[in-house]
Amino acid sequence: MDFERTIFKAYDIRGIFPEQLNPDIAYRIGNALADYLKPKTIAVGRDMRISSNELHDMLICGIIDAGVDVVDLGLVSTDGMYFAVGKFDYDGGVMVTASHNPKEYNGFKICRRGAMPLSGQEGLDKIEEALENDTVIKSSERGNIARKVITEDYAAHCLSFIDRSIIKPFRVVMDAGNGMAGLTLPPVLEKLPIKYIPLYFELDGTFPNHPASPIELKNLVDLQKKIAEERADFGVAFDGDADRMFLVDKNGHQVGGDLATALVADNLLDKNPGETILYNIICSKAVPELIEKKGGKAIRTRVGHAYIKPLMKKYNAIFGGEHSGHFYFRDNWFADSGLIAFLVCLELLSKSGQPLHEKIEAIDPYFRSGEINSRVTSAGGKLDRVAAHFADGKHDTSDGLTVDYDDFWFNLRPSNTEPLIRLNVEANTKEILDRRTEEILKIVRS
């Protein structure tokens, strides 16, 4: 069949509806997944996007036509879908979502048994191949559809990670961005003593207030204003499918996903001394430094859940975190959950007696560039030139190019989907950061 190959990404399937992703393609993806996994039962959930219901229904048709049963989770967060697959031992799961992308996008996040993800080199390539070959499986017996609501079960699971009795009555502004957090948060929050001020909890796939992408500072403006107006202790924002979260302190400063990783690690190592924790290659040096100071074992990984989850299983790591706001927990089938990460941070702040901004200041002495994107024609050539220029540094080529020095480090990675190269720099001082960033960009952009 004809379809745009670019919808198959490194970690999921995603494109513009209906030009790139339409109901017919959704049917074929469901059918190909059923043929690839050879499962008995697949769980399917969806977000609140305008096109999600239609894609969800046709995806399910493709699955049951192949003779596979479906458990329809209905409206759910992505981390809720992972929970359902792990908790109820389903053979696989699909979430209809485009995560933080604009309203015209949609897609599919897919996992196998145990909530382990399919990726471009591990399963998604087989589904793409089935579409290319126009393969359709029709079973003599269609699968059955059962419906299941997991909202309360998932809330109870998330709350099991903390001691509710020690939670302090913080004033917290919570921005759901009109995404799935508006559904998943209330059953948890009603069981806590905090005073929460909701922002955009109404499910609305048109995203009328701002894009549900809290990693971008421009999308935190309303949250920052509300924190100031309410004199709140801090705030939190979730992305569209609610599997990622970002904290904002009372002064309106965003806490990066890497530093939130450090906060979660701090609390978990207090309760589980000596455990292994993973962090991705773009995370601040503050993360492994805190882990090791607390007596844990820190292991650096490539970016992306398709790499982190298998490594967590290999090392039996209690936790893994990414700069992008993904947080993975061993006791959550090694799957990510923004909600669990928020609760663990809430417990840490309750125990510490320190405001969020002071807790961050105590563990973070560094200066960072943030991600800087440059459009290039030959990413490989640029990496080679930068590597040669910084030949005297300590090199790591496991994910793009990472070069370490005593007073700064940087990572340069090609984009998986665009002709871009992404730069992250961290340094001991602002002067070193500015100078080294300019030095690297001069090579990249020349």
Instruction: Give catalytic residue positions.
Output: 99
Rg of the chain over Cα atoms, rounded to whole angstroms, equals 22
Question: Which DSSP category does 348 fall into?
Answer: H
Residue with tokens 């929050």: 189
Cβ atoms 415, 422 nearer than 8 A = yes
Instruction: Name the CA dihedral angle for 379, 382, 384, 385, rounded to a multiple of 10 degrees.
Output: 180
Contact 327, 259 (CB under 8 A): no
Helix, strand, coil % in the chain, rounded to nearest 5: 40, 25, 35
List, in sequence order, every beta strand (DSSP E) within 33-144. 41-46, 69-75, 92-96, 105-112
> What sign does the dihedral 123-129-130-131 (CA atoms) show?
positive
Please name the helix (run of DSSP H) or strand (run of DSSP E) that holds residue 328, with its range, or none: strand 327-329
Evaluate whether 107 touches 121 at the Cβ level (below 8 Å).
Answer: no
| Residue pair 433/427 in contact by the 8 Å Cβ criterion | yes
Q: For residues 342 and 327, give the distance between their C-alpha atoms in angstroms, rounded to a whole number.
A: 10
CA distance 42 to 90: 6
Buried-state track 194-228, b at ≥16 Cβ within 10 A, e below 16: eebbbbbbebbbebebbbbbbbeeebbebbbebbe
Query: b/e per residue, 110-130, with b = 16+ CB within 10 A?
Result: bbbbbbbbbbbeebbeebbeb
